[in-house]
Amino acid sequence: MTVEAAIEKASDILVRSRNAVVSSGAGMSAESGIATFRDPGGVWERLDPAQVGTTAGLLNTLQNNPEPLISMFHELLDVFANAEPNAGHEALYELERMGILQTVITQNIDNLHQEAGSIKVIEVHGNGFRFRCLSCSTRVAMSRKGLIRDVRARLDQLTDYSPAVLMDVMPQCDQCGSMMRPDVVMFGEAVQHIPEAYAAVQSADAMLALGTSGVVYPAAAFPFEAKKAGAPVIVVNPNENAFDSVSDVYVPMKAGEALPALVDNVRRKLG
């Protein structure tokens, strides 16, 4: 199937849809300047997930060999400070305003779907601009620029990254005074909002899997669940992915190019 035919078929599905659900992954934000972890040049080529992907591994690496991690962390702060929603995020907001898209489920922690305007966003891996109290689970959202400024200032003062020192610089909960931590899901930790995500997926009348490789579970299961419940599945990804057996339409393009084209087609068809 040509790319044009794939866009045409995908827009035919969306024109008929009133309860489309998105499952987005790191590729969704690649055109906002946030590189995926898994692709060539990504974080996992430079750092070992076993050493930095779990909370215990991260604390251990920070204490014993912090330099590569701290320098990568500064790079990520720069990237996140400058990231803005791309044309793909904006197209999804448009689909929501057209009454077609109802829910965005995302593995991303970058807040960009919300910043593009999307209202119902289920974040299964948390949000990098939010803290969570370790005792009472109170969550506090921070502003992108303010938080990054604050983290940079605190990092610049540290020479020792032992757990005791890090605990000291973490914010404290207003409700109970305990330590707060970034509200992101590390390897081995429980993913968030899975019942809500499954409910959205099982009631979807179309599923869009956008910029996700299909290897990180349980998010990888969403397109399969939607298909089982009768929804056609549209996959947008310029590279190979794990959804061949489930996709009704595969659009081999970047999300920031495919989604605006899809929305244009849908708008034309709806007249």
**Residues lying near ligand NAD in the complex (CB under 6 A):** 25-27, 29-31, 34, 36-39, 42, 107-110, 125, 211-213, 215-216, 236-239, 241, 254-255
Q: Where are the beta strands (DSSP E) in 52-115?
A: 101-106
Q: Which does 7 bind (CB under 5 to 8 A by kind): ligand NAD, Zn ion, none?
A: none
> CA-based Rg of the chain, rounded to a whole angstrom?
20
Q: For ligand NAD, which is the closer residue by CB, 125 or 130?
A: 125
* 183 contributes a contact to Zn ion by CB under 5 A: no
* The entry of ligand NAD, Zn ion, none that residue 138 binds, CB within 5 to 8 Å by partner kind: Zn ion
Nearer to ligand NAD, 102 or 212 (CB): 212
Per DSSP, the residues of 108-143 read --S-HHHHHT-S-EEETTEEEEEEEETTT--EEE--
CB of 177 to ligand NAD, least distance (A): 30
Active-site residue numbers? 125
- If one asks whether residue 174 binds Zn ion (CB under 5 A), the answer comes out as no
* Helices and strands, number each (H, E), in the chain: 12, 9
Q: Which of 5, 81, 119, 136 binds Zn ion (CB under 5 A)?
A: 136
Q: What order do you get walking across the sheet with 121-123 strand by strand?
A: 121-123, 101-106, 20-24, 206-210, 233-236, 249-251
User: Binding residues for Zn ion, per CB under 5 A?
Assistant: 133, 135-136, 138, 173, 175-176, 178
